[in-house]
């Protein structure tokens, strides 16, 4: 055993469990890839101010949870705690918004880092698949993203998740609501830090999970009662488009996301089988973020779905993904001459697109066949000196146990035909 262990709040993904994570990533990204979203990858760390400005200085993410570092050159960096700010920065830096044809539609997958109290479903290192549509103010875009996330979850077999939907208004109506909410909050018995947060961004107080705070929030003014006519109309169109697509959702007037950049449409995917960490993903519209990080006005919308949380949701529903075996054919050489010949056949099969593995190391037939069984391969190729003298190898069907002699020069085609 190694002297070292994975840092607290993190975990290693190892086979065969890691195959489920890959399958989840593929399932979430598949609808995006078929809907005009191109892949983007950003660095694991960025200028700390990108997140302070974009995510919000009053958020727990920025004040308590970011991993920050100072480089030898004196630059202040942070490991990325979320994906949107980085993706928008990358799109602006590459002038993608000037290339014509807005919105710029991007999807990404990667690791994110937050210094949190570790618990099941909440880790300090976690992975997400996300999507961003940059540069267009269109309710159909908000609806498209919600529908694609719903499609991704349903393709995995998930059924017991709910979509919560709200509107956070815009720069016209939000300040009026903010003032009303602050007035209400000032009259409550809140601790100093919560009162300070109420002055910077009162909406964040609504998101406070403590029961003592939630009890006092009964009767707090609701944003939906303060929406301007434009925001109301926009939200109604998003709702109508999602409904027409047959996607069920719940209106949640108290829903606010944990990041400061959201405007108008905001949504969350929750799964009640996960206990306190019920959110499996979420997102919304962020029309002012581009200006916050020094770019032009680019109204945008996006989401991120947690891969770890999605895997937990699958477990909660008792869903086992049908993951095909990584290996189709496993070669078992008996003797030195067979090693050379079968290794050459393995290389040929791989070139022909057949997933093939080889039994490495000097061991007896029993140990070789154990390796073949563990691989999950459909067929094993077994050959000893007598087989090679006859110009054949034995092709064994690992399901039925049936074994047939196949001529060496016909093996590749025979295997391909059997697998087809």
Q: Is 102 helix (H, G, I), strand (E, B) or coil?
A: coil
And the tokens for 128? 């997400």
pLDDT in tens, 134-150: 999 999 999 999 999 99
The residue ranges of every structural domain in the chain are 18-173+227-316, 329-419
And the tokens for 138? 């269109």
Per-residue model confidence (pLDDT) at position 258: 60
Q: What is the dihedral of CA 256, 150, 277, 124, to 10 degrees?
A: -90
Same fold, 18-173+227-316 and 329-419: no
- How many angstroms separate the CA atoms of 273 and 190, rounded? 32
- Which CATH number applies to 329-419: 2.40.50.180, 3.40.640.10, 3.90.180.10, 3.40.50.800? 3.40.50.800
pLDDT in tens, 79-96: 999 999 999 999 999 999
- How many angstroms separate the CA atoms of 141 and 128, rounded? 21
pTM metric for this prediction: 0.89
- Report the chain's mean pLDDT, rounded to a whole number: 92
Q: How confident is the model at residue 211 (pLDDT cuts 50, 70, 90)?
A: confident
- Which CATH number applies to 18-173+227-316: 1.10.240.10, 3.30.930.10, 3.50.50.60, 3.40.50.720? 3.30.930.10
Sheet containing 161-167: order of strands? 38-39, 104-113, 125-134, 300-306, 279-285, 263-271, 161-167, 250-251
- How many angstroms separate the CA atoms of 316 and 337, rounded? 51
More confident residue, 286 or 261: 286
Helices (H), strands (E): how many in the chain? 16, 16
The end-to-end CA distance of the chain, in Å, is: 43
Question: Which has the closest alpha carbon to 305: 163, 420, 138?
Answer: 163
Mean pLDDT of 351-359: 96
């Amino acid at each position: 055993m190694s002297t070292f262990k994975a840092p607290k709040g993190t975990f290693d993904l190892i086979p065969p469990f890691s195959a489920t994570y890959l399958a989840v990533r593929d399932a979430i990204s598949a609808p995006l890839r078929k809907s005009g979203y191109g892949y983007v990858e950003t660095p694991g760390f960025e200028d700390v101010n990108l997140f302070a400005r974009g995510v919000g200085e009053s958020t727990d993410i920025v004040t308590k949870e970011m991993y920050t570092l100072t480089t030898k050159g004196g630059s202040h960096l942070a490991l990325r705690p979320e994906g949107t700010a980085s993706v928008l920065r990358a799109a602006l830096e590459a002038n993608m918004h000037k290339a014509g044809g807005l919105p710029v539609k991007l999807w990404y997958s990667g690791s994110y880092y937050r210094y949190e109290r570790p618990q099941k479903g909440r880790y300090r290192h976690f992975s997400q698949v996300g999507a961003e549509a940059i540069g267009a103010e269109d309710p159909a875009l908000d609806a498209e993203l919600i529908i694609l996330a719903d499609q991704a979850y349903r393709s995995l077999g998930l059924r017991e998740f709910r979509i919560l939907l709200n509107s956070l208004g815009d720069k016209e109506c939000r300040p009026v609501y903010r003032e009303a909410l602050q007035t209400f909050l000032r009259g409550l018995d809140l601790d100093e830090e919560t009162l300070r947060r109420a002055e910077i961004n009162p909406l964040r107080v609504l998101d406070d999970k403590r029961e003592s705070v939630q009890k006092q929030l009964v009767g707090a003014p609701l944003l939906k009662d303060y929406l301007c006519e434009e925001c109301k109309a926009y939200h109604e169109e998003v709702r109508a488009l999602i409904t027409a697509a047959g996607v069920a959702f719940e209106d949640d007037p108290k829903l606010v996301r944990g990041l400061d950049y959201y405007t108008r449409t905001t949504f969350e995917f929750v799964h009640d089988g996960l206990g306190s960490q019920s959110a499996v993903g979420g997102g919304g519209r962020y029309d002012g973020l581009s200006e916050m990080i020094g770019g032009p006005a680019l109204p945008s919308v996006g989401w991120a779905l947690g891969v770890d949380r999605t895997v937990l949701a699958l477990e909660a529903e008792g869903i086992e993904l049908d993951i095909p075996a990584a290996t189709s054919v496993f070669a078992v050489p008996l003797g030195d001459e067979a090693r050379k010949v079968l290794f050459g056949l393995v290389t040929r099969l791989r070139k022909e697109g057949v997933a093939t593995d080889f039994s490495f190391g000097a061991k007896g037939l029993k140990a070789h066949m154990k390796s073949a069984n563990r691989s999950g391969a459909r067929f094993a190729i077994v050959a000893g000196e007598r087989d090679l003298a006859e110009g054949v190898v034995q092709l064994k069907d690992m399901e039925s146990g049936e074994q047939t002699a196949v001529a060496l020069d016909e093996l590749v085609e025979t295997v391909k035909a059997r697998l087809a």
